[in-house]
Structure 1
């Protein structure tokens, strides 16, 4: 983890790399994209709620690129800083000390994405 991580740039880089991976393994990535789209589609839970769930899991499993993408998407679906902070709290409950570190990354990502608007 770098103190100078740009989460907006990391999010763009993750999407770029996923696009490259899609050219290498198109069937797998098309299947993954279909799974992603179906999983986050609004239903009994809103897209915002599903993005917050995904963010909590990203924190608990320690995926910095996932954190960048799901903070971005949660904000795009109307999540507030306070809702993301509560998501971090639940992730910390489930993931312990390492989730504190990755939760702090999520909050830094919120600040960076919001500053860029």
Structure 2
């Protein structure tokens, strides 16, 4: 289970990337445009796209991804049951390591819900 706070992790990532955003502004603008375009409502809803993104973050063992995409899912009105069903697929596809990061995603979710 995660031993850190995802809200702090998100702030730390944003803070650490601040100089990079300035020195590599065109790259970061391109990344932001890619993110915005790929996550926009379309044939697949924004919520379902965030579920997919979180599943990839879990299977790729990316704590920052877990923090950012769990926060987005909470904002988009996802339920814990939707989160858990998606995580079951991530575990199926990613095995034991995905199960460990699923615990991290559940912990991040619970902390977001408690903060509301």
Q: Same fold (TM over 0.5)?
A: yes
In the other structure, the counterpart of 2:45 is: 46
In the other structure, the counterpart of 1:36 is: 35
1:26 correspondence with 2:25 = yes
Deviation for aligned residue 1:17: 2.9
SS in 2 for 1:101: helix
Moved over 4 A (4+): none
Q: TM-score, normalised by structure 1?
A: 0.92
On the 8 A contact 1:7/1:113 being kept in 2, the answer is no
Taking structure 1 as reference, are residues 76 and 2 closer, same or farther at Cα in structure 2, changes over 3 Å only? closer
Taking structure 1 as reference, are residues 19 and 105 closer, same or farther at Cα in structure 2, changes over 3 Å only? same
Q: Distance in 1 between matches of 2:70 and 2:31?
A: 20
On the 8 A contact 2:70/2:109 being kept in 1, the answer is yes
In the other structure, the counterpart of 2:16 is: 17
List gaps (5 residues or longer) in structure 1. none
On the 8 A contact 2:50/2:72 being kept in 1, the answer is yes
On the 8 A contact 2:67/2:105 being kept in 1, the answer is yes
List gaps (5 residues or longer) in structure 2. none
In the other structure, the counterpart of 2:64 is: 65
Cα RMSD, aligned residues only: 1.3
